[in-house]
């Protein structure tokens, strides 16, 4: 799958990529967040643009410059990410959910900063579930033949967990990253296997996030009508 000069095999296609990590506010100065840098999603956006696609990049709290020739939509929370993804997906040929979406958000937002009270212990933070955006776009398929890709970081029984998650989400491809001490978060490199709903299993050798991105687009192109 090594490539020299890139063919414009996504020309005429619209692809949607989500990147970064959602932040779920507790009060005006605090949030629940995660360590996703957004680099894999940005690599996906850049490589898709290089292959001729019109790209909508939905960026959640990344500190990265907008890639050239890509429409960037900035969002903060999972609920905002859902709205932006569903809107952009309406006419998309492919949707790639590389963003780390917070599974839960605080059930209440305090409009004023939460303060310590004398020497009392703090109130527990009550959480509610966020919508599952990948499952929703997979179930809805805004356009016939739309190809939908998820990402998952797994530990322990990585492949079995990944296979079960692919089925649960209903997407076409699921990129499984094995998470370890120094792997994946914030690094330039990645190691993965891409599982397909058709039973396929494509290992991705250790390498730059751009290389993984190109393999994802190869697999998407194979599945586009």
- Residues 168-197 binding ligand CTP (CB under 6 A) are none
Q: Where are the alpha helices (DSSP H) in the chain?
A: 39-50, 78-89, 133-140, 158-169, 209-223
- Residues 144-173 binding ligand CTP (CB under 6 A) are 150-152
Specify the length of the chain in residues: 225
Decide: is 132 part of the binding site for ligand CTP (CB under 6 A): yes
SS3 195: strand
SS3 6: coil
Question: With respect to ligand CTP, which residue has the nearer C-beta, 16 or 134?
Answer: 134
CA distances from 126 to 107, 123, 161 (A): 6, 9, 28
Q: Does 174 show up as a binding residue in the annotation?
A: no
Decide: is 89 part of the binding site for ligand CTP (CB under 6 A): no
SS3 202: strand
Site string for Ca ion, 48-87 (x = CB under 5 A): ----------------------------------------
β-strands 94-97, 147-154 pairing: parallel
Question: With respect to ligand CTP, which residue has the nearer C-beta, 64 or 158?
Answer: 158
Q: How far is the CB of 11 from ligand CTP (least distance, A)?
A: 26
Q: Is 34 assigned a catalytic role?
A: yes
Binding residues: 103, 113, 131-134, 151, 165, 169
């Amino acid at each position: 799958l090594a490539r020299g000069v890139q063919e414009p095999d996504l020309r005429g296609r619209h692809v949607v990529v989500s990147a970064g990590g959602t932040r779920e506010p507790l009060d005006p100065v605090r949030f629940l967040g995660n360590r996703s840098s957004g680099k894999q999603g940005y690599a996906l956006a850049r490589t898709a643009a290089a292959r001729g696609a019109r790209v909508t990049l939905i960026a959640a709290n990344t500190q990265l410059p907008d890639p050239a020739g890509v429409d960037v939509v900035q969002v903060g929370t999972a609920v905002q990410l859902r709205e932006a993804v569903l809107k952009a997906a309406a006419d998309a040929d492919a949707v790639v959910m590389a963003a780390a979406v917070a599974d839960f958000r605080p059930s209440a937002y305090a409009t004023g900063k939460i303060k310590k009270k004398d020497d009392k212990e703090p109130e527990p933070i009550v959480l509610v579930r966020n919508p599952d955006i990948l499952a929703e776009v997979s179930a809805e398929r805004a356009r016939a033949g739309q190809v939908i890709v998820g990402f998952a970081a797994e530990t322990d029984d990585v492949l079995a967990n990944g296979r079960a998650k692919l089925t649960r989400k209903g997407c076409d491809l699921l990129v499984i990253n094995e998470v370890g001490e120094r792997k994946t978060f914030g690094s330039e490199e990645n190691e993965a296997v891409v599982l397909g709903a058709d039973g396929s299993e494509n290992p991705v050798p250790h390498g730059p996030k751009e290389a993984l991105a190109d393999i994802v687009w190869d697999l998407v192109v194979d599945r586009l009508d």
